[in-house]
Amino acid sequence: MVRPPLSPQEHERGERLGALLREARGDRSMVEVAAVAGLSAETLRKIETGRAPTPAFFTVAALASALGISLEDLAAACVLTPARPGHLP
């Protein structure tokens, strides 16, 4: 099965997720946070840079737990607000 291409909004949401995770990581190393989450540092790097804009739920859950962020807060921060008709985004 071929996966349809991601929309610009999905890419933007992935970039927002990456930025939030980078900010929450603070001065901790990628290797340290990835190890706590049970991921490779390369997987975390791809998510943080937006190269993996739609990580699996359990990957996001593991990162949220490792960083002390609730999934609810993380999801709320990643929600994109649609532009109103006639207004610039």
Q: What is the pLDDT along the chain (89 residues), one digit of tens a residue?
A: 788 888 988 899 999 999 999 999 999 999 999 999 999 999 999 999 999 999 999 999 999 999 999 999 998 988 876 655 554 44
pLDDT given for residue 81 in this prediction? 67
Domain locations along the chain = 9-78
pLDDT given for residue 82 in this prediction? 62
CATH class of residue range 9-78: mainly alpha
Please report which residue ranges of the chain form alpha helices under DSSP H. Answer: 8-25, 30-37, 41-48, 57-67, 71-78
Which of 13, 31, 33 has its CA nearest to residue 74?
13
Which of 12, 40, 30, 14 has its CA nearest to residue 67?
30
